[in-house]
A and B are shown apart, each in its own frame.
Chain A
Amino acid sequence: MSTLGLLRTLFNPKIVTPNAIQLQSLNRSPFLVGLFFNHEQVRTMSRVKRRTTHPPYWHVLKNNQRQDEKISSDNLRFVREVIQDKYKNKSPIKGSDLDIEKKEWDPKTKRSGVIARNIGVQHMWEKDGKKVVCTVLHVLDNHVIRYVPPEEYAKSIIGAKVFRNRKPLGCLVVGAEAANPDRFTRQYCSLFNEVGLLPKKRLARFIVTPNAVLPPCTPLTAGHFVVGQAVDVYGKTIDYGFQGVVKRWGFKGGPASHGATKFHRRGGTIGTGRDKARVWPGQKMPGHMGSERRFCRGLKIVRINMKYNVIYVKGTVPGPTNSIVQIFDTVLPRRKFTEAPPHPTYFPPEDGTLPQEDIWDSSLHVFGSPSISV
C-alpha cells in the first residue's frame, strides 16, 4: 500500500461500505486529509429507495377486483348473515386460559404492540393550567393472527436482516379492522383460516420476546397500555406530493423583488466546479416529499378510555388524521417500564366487573372537576 493510502487509513477510521462515497481530495496534503479537511461524506441513503407503491414480493395478493355481481338485496343480506355466523368476531380466549402458561415479566421483555387509527388532536389542560396538545388514537379491533417462533423468524428475509448479529426474537402477527371477505382474494383470506376470524384489512408484525407470546385469536385493547407510560408510535408521514426545494429542504430561495428574474423559489447552485466536477449523489433537489415511515419516540400516555378503546397521547404522531399507526412500548432506556405492565396483555376481570371507564394521568385536569385556582 502506498504511504498516501496508509496515512489515509490511519487518520480515517471509517468502515467503507459499498454505498458510501469517499472523496479523496488530491489537492490537499496527505497529513491534513483526515485531520482537518474531512471531505469524506458518507451518503448511505442516497441510493436507497425510500418508498414504493407496491408491497414486497413475498406478500400474497390482497385485494379482489370488484365484480358486478347482480344479486338481489335479500340475497345480499343472507350472504352477510352467513358471513357473520361463520366468522364470529368474538375471541374465545379469556385470561384464565393463559394462567397455565403465564410467564413472568422482566425488564428485558418486549411485549406486543397494537394497531390504532389516529383520529385527531384534542386539547387538554394540566393541573397548573398549561395547555397540552394530545393526539387521540383509536385502538381498532386487534386480534393476534399468528406467532412465528424465533428460530423460524430468523430464517425469513426480514428476520435475517434484523437479527444478523444478535439473538433472534419471535414475531407476532396482529391484524386489525375486520372486513367483508368479498373484497379480498382467496389467498389473503386463507391467512386467517386457522384463526377463524373475519379477514382483517391491516396486518402488522411486532417483535416479541418468547415470554410475551400470545396465542392466536387473542384480542388486544386499549387496556394493553398503562396511563403514564411512554410509547413509540410508528406511522407514515403526511404525503405532500412533488414539492419544491423551499418546502422540502427549507431552502431560502431568492429575493421576492429587487429585480430578481425568475429566481424566487429555486435551489441555486448544485455544486462547485472543482471537487469531483459533478453533482454529488444526495444533492437536495425538488422531489416527492412525505409518505415515509417514521417513529415518534417516548410519547406519554395521558388518558385511556376503556369503553371506546381510545388512547390519548401527549404530543403529535406521524401521519394525517384517520391514518393507521402502530403503537409499542418505548425503546428509550430512561422511560421504559420499571414495574410490570399488563403482561402479556390486558384481560377484563373474570367476575364481570367492568374496569374504570376513563383513566386519567395524575398531571391532567379532569373536565368534570372544579376550575383550577392558582
Chain B
Amino acid sequence: MRQLFANRTSSILLQEKCDEADEKSVSKQKPGDESGNTVVVAPPEFRFMYPEFLPDPAMERRNRLKEKLERIDMLQRRSVVEIPEFYTGSVMAVTVADANSPNKFARFVGICIQRGGSGLRAWFILRNVVDKQGVEILYEMYCPLIQKIEVLRLERRLDESLLYLRDALPEYSTFPLDMEPERRLNNSVVPINPLKVKLRPRPWLERWERQNLQGVEDLNLPQRFYDKAEKVAKPWEKYDLMLQYRKTIPAEEQEKIFSDVHSQLQQQEFKRKMRRRRGTDNEQ
C-alpha cells in the first residue's frame, strides 16, 4: 500500500533505491558556493512538472520582485489545495464551488487538451463529450473556487496541444464522468500514450496538415494540401537559436527559481503524504 503512494520526487524514499532512472529525480546538491553553504538544486523535471512557476519570457514585462511575490502567493495557495502534476493528455477531475449546482459543487471530468499561462494566471482546458455534446471548460489553476483537482490518469501524448480532438471522432474525447483514479505501475516515469487519433472528414477547425501533428492518423488529403503546406512552412525555425532563446527562460534562472520553490513544495508533499497515511491508518 505504501509504495503506491510513494511520490518519485520524495528524496526520503528514493535514497533506498538508487536506480539509473531514479538518479535523475534526486535533488542534487551543488558543491558549495563562495560562502561555503551547499546549494540545493531542484530536479530538472521540475520545469515540466510545474511550468507555471516560470514567468512569461517577454523581457519588457519582466520584474524579479513581482515574480518572487507571485511565487509566494502560488505556494500559499498550493498549501491549501493539492495541484498535482499533470500534462496534456492526462484525464483529470476538477471540483468547483458553483452556486447554481444542486450540491453547490460541480465536478467535471475530462482530458487536458491544452495548458498555458504563467504565475497565478495558469490555466488548463478539460474536454469531454457529454450526451453527444463536446464540452470544454477552461480552469484557472489558482482560482479559490476550485476545491479539488484529481488526476485520474497521468499520461502524456505525442503532442503538446490536443486541440485536434475537436475534429476527431467523439470516442477519443469521451470519458465516463464517474471514472475512478487509475493506479500507476511505474511511478518514476510518466508514460507516453502513442495513440494515433482518427479525424472526422473535412471541414476542420484548423489546417491540421500544416501543424506536424504526431498523434493523428494519416490525414489522407489530396496532394495539393501538402504542397501548399510546404510553401507556407518555415523549416528554418528549428535552426533559429535566438527564437528559442526568446521563448524560454535561461537555464540558470530556471535553476534559481526552482531551487527557491523546491524545498517548500517538498514540505507540502510530505505533509500531504503524512495526512493520507494517518487517514488510511484511521480507516484501518
Contacts and interface: CB of A to CB of B under 8 A. Distances in A.
Interface of A: 119-120, 122-125, 129, 131, 136, 138, 305, 308, 310, 320-322, 365, 367-374
B76 A371 contact: no
B99 A371 contact: no
B73 interface: yes
B99 A374 contact: yes
Contacts of A372: 97, 144-145
Given A122-B119, A371-B80, A129 B69 contact: no
8 nearest A-B residue pairs (beta carbon): A367-B76, A119-B63, A119-B66, A368-B76, A120-B66, A374-B99, A129-B145, A321-B61
A367 B147 contact: no
Contacts, number: 77
Given A122-B120, A308-B69, A372-B97, A129 B63 contact: no
A370 B80 contact: yes
B66 A373 contact: no
Contact of A368 (B65, B80, B143): B80
B76 A136 contact: no
Interface residues of B, number: 30
A136 B80 contact: no
Given A371-B97, A372-B144, A373-B104, A322 B63 contact: yes
A374 B104 contact: yes
A365 B144 contact: yes
Interface string B114-148: 00000111000000000000000000101111110
Contacts of A369: 80
Interface of B: 60-63, 65-66, 69-70, 73-74, 76-77, 79-81, 97-99, 104-105, 119-121, 140, 142-147
Given A122-B120, A308-B65, A368-B80, 20 more contacts: A119-B65, A122-B66, A122-B119, A123-B140, A125-B145, A138-B63, A138-B66, A305-B69, A308-B69, A310-B69, A367-B73, A367-B74, A367-B76, A367-B77, A367-B144, A368-B76, A372-B144, A373-B105, A373-B147, A374-B98
Contacts of A308: 65, 69
Contacts of A131: 140, 143
From B69, B97, B98, residue with most partner A Cβ within 10 Å: B69
A154 B210 CA distance: 69
B146 A371 contact: yes
A134 to B, nearest CB: 10
B120 A321 contact: no
B14 to A, nearest CB: 29
Contacts of B147: 371, 373
A371 B96 CA distance: 10
A34 to B, nearest CB: 52
A193 to B, nearest CB: 31
Contacts of B120: 122-124
Given A367-B73, A370-B80, A120 B97 contact: no
A141 to B, nearest CB: 13
B59 to A, nearest CB: 10
A217 B217 CA distance: 72
Contacts of B97: 129, 371-374
A320 B59 CA distance: 12
A234 B90 CA distance: 47
A325 to B, nearest CB: 14
Contacts of A124: 120
Contacts of B105: 373
Nearest to A372: B144
30 contacts: A119-B66, A122-B73, A123-B140, A124-B120, A129-B97, A129-B144, A131-B140, A131-B143, A136-B66, A138-B65, A138-B66, A308-B69, A310-B69, A321-B61, A321-B62, A321-B63, A322-B60, A367-B73, A367-B77, A367-B142, A368-B80, A370-B80, A371-B80, A371-B81, A371-B97, A371-B146, A371-B147, A372-B145, A373-B147, A374-B98
Contacts of A321: 60-63
A368 B76 CA distance: 5
Nearest to A129: B145
Nearest to B104: A374
A131 B142 CA distance: 11
A136 B61 CA distance: 12
B85 to A, nearest CB: 20
Contacts of A125: 143-145
B144 A310 contact: no
Nearest to A138: B65
A136 B69 contact: yes
Nearest to A312: B69
A122 B70 contact: yes
B94 to A, nearest CB: 12
